[in-house]
Amino acid sequence: MLLVLDIANTNIKAGMYDGEELKATWRIFTGVQRTADEYAVMLSNLLKYEGIDFKDIKKGAMSCVVPPLLTTFNELFERYFHIEPLIVGPGIKTGVRIRYPNPREVGSDLIANAAAALHLYKPPIIVVALGTATAFAIVSKGGDYVGGVIAPGLGISAEALYTRTAALPRVDLTRPKKVIGDSTQAAMQSGLIYGWIGLIEGIVSRIQKELGEKATVVATGGYAGIFGKETKVIDVVNPNLTLYGVKVIHDLNRE
């Protein structure tokens, strides 16, 4: 079996592949202070719940945008699985041509998203990753990664309203019944949810105009489920896109 990890700023998403089948996924909080042993205990319990033993894991791959955790998870793979994981990054085959002056600037998660999208959908493609940041990855008709857009994420913006003001409360990130809020909480929810809908629609519209053609818009990330239902510009919601991309890149480099 192949264990794939998407190590992001807020959460670590793990997936277990048996061949082409995604057997299980888990999400745990990202903690840079945790040790390899602590993460191993968490993974062990999650695997046991699905009837999977450590010995079943023969291969590993990961995307990581939290540099201190690269060492932690390398140690975990080596100590507990006795394997060297593939790390999405410079020097490996991705199946994606990156049209940047400095390709190393592109985050490994965005590369994984583009690799997965090219396997699943017809380009041009706009991948909208709705997580800690709101990141747009643009793949041209020719299959090239031509650029992106990065904006603040919904969660950190909501937290900023709470922590940087004296009277505004912390709110649940759910859609209010109407745009015009009749309470402070409803007004904040409206600004956050409908504000992000406007952000997504506006940026996608401008990207489509620059591309000069209709692109397939794929949403992924922790908040994808919220916005996939709220705007018609999103064509597909794929919550496991990054995990699949890590698998695709792993398979390319292990052929």
Specify the CATH number for the domain of residue 111.
3.30.420.40
Cα separation of 169 and 180, whole Å? 18
pLDDT at 138: 97
pLDDT at 255: 65
- 83 and 11 in one domain? yes
Q: What is the pLDDT of residues 139-182, one digit of tens each?
A: 999 999 999 999 999 999 999 999 999 999 999 988 888 999 99
End-to-end Cα spacing for the chain: 16
> Which stretches of 133-213 are assigned E, i.e. beta strand?
133-139, 144-152
How many CA atoms are closer than 13 Å to the CA of 28, on its beta-carbon side? 18
Residue found by looking up tokens 């998203």 in the block: 113
- 188 and 237 in one domain? yes
Say whether 109 is catalytic. Answer: yes
Cα separation of 98 and 95, whole Å? 10
Set 18, 53, 56, 109: catalytic member: 109
CA dihedral (245, 249, 251, 254) in degrees, to 10, reads -160
Q: What SS3 class is residue 26?
A: strand
- The whole-model pTM stands at 0.93
- 208 and 111 in one domain? yes
| Residues of the chain where predicted confidence (pLDDT) is lower than 50 | none
- 122 and 221 in one domain? yes
222 burial class (0-12, 13-18, 19+ CB within 10 angstroms)?
Answer: buried
pLDDT at 175: 86
- What is the span of the domain harbouring residue 14? 2-87
- 104 and 83 in one domain? no
Cα separation of 224 and 222, whole Å? 6
Residue found by looking up tokens 């968490």 in the block: 42
